[in-house]
Amino acid sequence: MALADQDLKVAIAATRFGLGARPGEIAAAKRDPQGFLRAQIRREGAEIPAGVATSSERLGEFREYQLEKRDARLQKAAMATGADGKPADPDSRDPVKVVGNMLRQDVGADFGARLQLAVSTEAGFRERWADFWANHFTVSATKAITGTVIGPFEAEAIRPNVFGRFADLLGAVETHPAMLTYLDQVQSIGPNSRAADVGRARLQRVANRTVGLNENLAREILELHTVGVNGGYSQADVTEFARAMTGLSIGGPRDPALAAGTAVFRDQAHEPGERMVMGVRYRAAGKDQAGAILADLAAKPATATFVCSKIARHFVADEPPPALVARLEKAWTASGGDLSRLAEALIAAPEAWVPTPAKFKTPYEFIVSSYRAAGAHPENFGKVAPILTALGQKPFSAPSPKGWPEDAQSWAAPDAIVKRMQFAQAFSAAAVRDRDPKALAADALGARLTPDTAKAVARAESRAEGFALLLMSPEFQRR
């Protein structure tokens, strides 16, 4: 295994562990690149993007939106049947559209705040670490109600816990309103619970719907969040775990004493009885039953293997070195899943500092690192969102609970490269102005800048063209 010299390590610290170097960042890390990264680990977690509301505030807005839609339907139905009603004032604003637009603007502002933090932070490794966990525990705006709370989800459940114990992160994530709505846990009712008969009769009467157990959250916790698809669980374990989780929900109109969207446990909806999950028997304990299963899942060796493999894959290579995975597993086991110790083990691992860059940037990473290389800030998130969407990574909209793919094959198709080039050209024209692209290239890549790319940047016909060539160079597209 080839080893990087000191100058190359400095560049790797900023561009592989971090989100791309801003002007001056490589110089700041030059004395001790590993120490530069370790200093970014902090028990209080990652920064919270500015201006993100709480889940309760956002779900309160969503409830208002739903009520406005209901009232609009009722008014339309009343007018259609000849009931008294005045036609709407053509000059008045449609309250449904008003609240709906407000929600969309809030969701956009949440992603914009995250983007602003990513392009400006001096702690790129810390932010990348938080991004990894946000993708590991994906929730997506493919569901409207979930989309309103993705920003709060990251601020409340993920970012405060990314350098704490995995068990605490897992518990915070799986019981947050965003996850409970995204994976339909709010609809799950124990088949033999006190609420089941009443719920079945009411829902079947008013909407011809069925009510009962929903296994989505239990399945994804096992398959995607903890032990992994080969972690030794069965369909029976999924069902039993789903039964244990019944009762976990969020506050709604029938909970006037609670803020909208507050996570609650409804004992009347919980499936009574003991549960057997992955060979362990759990006593009937209401809400604590699911908590006990989550704690045990967090401590399983299969969880360490699965999660450590994903971390190695994210930071180092699509096919992660087995020795690196083993090092991370050892740190996980020795510390009881302490994510600070895991981050330190990653920084210390020689496999993470191999000179050849093996990871192809996702569209989000490419956009963020481009802004960082230019020392620029997005003036209007609304202009960035369509670019990310065109590149295949629509903000807050991962296509499935698996999250966004991170392998080169998913992002390096010819059409995708053409779209990156179009962005690079337009971005460079606005970002470079009178600055020297040769200096920007040296600041962005340090010792990773190859002679061929440096020559191409220097010989470009314009400053903007030189910077665009940098952004499209093989060493900038990879990390």
Residue 203's H or E segment, with its range, is helix 194-207
Q: Is residue 129 part of a domain?
A: yes
Note the pLDDT tens digit of each residue in 116-129: 999 999 999 999 99
Co-location of 199 and 154 in the same domain: no
Q: Cα 83–87–90 angle (5° rounding)?
A: 165
Of the listed ranges 183-197, 223-237, 294-308, the one predicted with least confidence:
183-197
Co-location of 209 and 274 in the same domain: yes
For the chain, the distance separating the N- and C-terminal CA atoms, rounded to the nearest angstrom, is 18
Residues 6+ apart with CB under 8 A from 23: 375, 440, 443
Residue 428 φ then ψ, to 5° = -65, -40
Co-location of 263 and 192 in the same domain: yes
Asked if 150 contacts 396 with a C-beta cutoff of 8 angstroms, the reply is: yes
What is the residue whose two structure tokens read 């990390």?
479
Place 201 in a pLDDT band, splitting at 50, 70 and 90.
low
| Entry pTM | 0.92
pLDDT at position 448, please? 98
Q: Is residue 388 part of a domain?
A: yes
Domain ends where: 277, 299, 321?
299
Rounded to 10°, the helix 339-348/301-315 angle is 50
CA distance 303 to 337: 10
pLDDT at position 80, please? 64
Co-location of 212 and 152 in the same domain: no
Q: Is residue 342 part of a domain?
A: no
Q: Is residue 189 part of a domain?
A: yes
Provide mean pLDDT across the span 44-58. Answer: 93
The tokens for 438 are 């040769």
Co-location of 146 and 252 in the same domain: no
Say yes or no to pLDDT of 100 above 70: no
Provide mean pLDDT across the span 12-41. Answer: 97
pLDDT at position 88, please? 47
pLDDT at position 70, please? 74
Mean pLDDT of the chain: 91
Co-location of 141 and 222 in the same domain: no
Provide mean pLDDT across the span 229-251. Answer: 97
Co-location of 286 and 196 in the same domain: yes
Burial 35-66, CB ≥16 within 10 A → b, else e:
ebbeebbeeebbbbbeebbbbbbbbbbbbbbb
Co-location of 189 and 261 in the same domain: yes
Residue type for 137, please?
Answer: F
Co-location of 430 and 465 in the same domain: yes
| Beta strands, E only, 21-76 | none
Q: Is residue 207 part of a domain?
A: yes
Say yes or no to pLDDT of 416 above 60: yes
CA distance 427 to 450: 22
Of the listed ranges 368-372, 375-379, 420-424, 427-431, the one predicted with least confidence:
375-379
Say yes or no to pLDDT of 337 above 90: yes
pLDDT at position 47, please? 97
Say yes or no to pLDDT of 91 above 50: no
Domain ends where: 245, 271, 299?
299
Q: Is residue 224 part of a domain?
A: yes
Residue type for 275, please?
Answer: R
pLDDT at position 60, please? 87
Provide mean pLDDT across the span 199-212. Answer: 54
CA distance 238 to 353: 39
Residue type for 236, please?
Answer: A
Co-location of 278 and 240 in the same domain: yes
pLDDT at position 46, please? 98
| Torsional class of 24: left (φ above 0), alpha (ψ -120 to 50), beta (otherwise) | left
CA distance 60 to 167: 29
Say yes or no to pLDDT of 208 above 50: no
The percentage of residues in the chain with a pLDDT greater than 70, rounded to a whole number, is: 91
Q: Is residue 264 part of a domain?
A: yes
Place 65 in a pLDDT band, splitting at 50, 70 and 90.
confident
Q: Is residue 40 part of a domain?
A: no
CA distance 300 to 216: 21
Task: Domain count for the chain, please give it.
Answer: 3
Co-location of 207 and 257 in the same domain: yes
| Torsion sign, CA atoms 217, 223, 227, 230 | positive
Say yes or no to pLDDT of 205 above 70: no
| Beta strands, E only, 170-322 | 248-250, 263-265, 275-277, 280-282
Asked if 411 contacts 392 with a C-beta cutoff of 8 angstroms, the reply is: yes
Co-location of 236 and 199 in the same domain: yes
Q: Can you give the residue range of the structural domain that contains 113?
A: 55-85+94-164
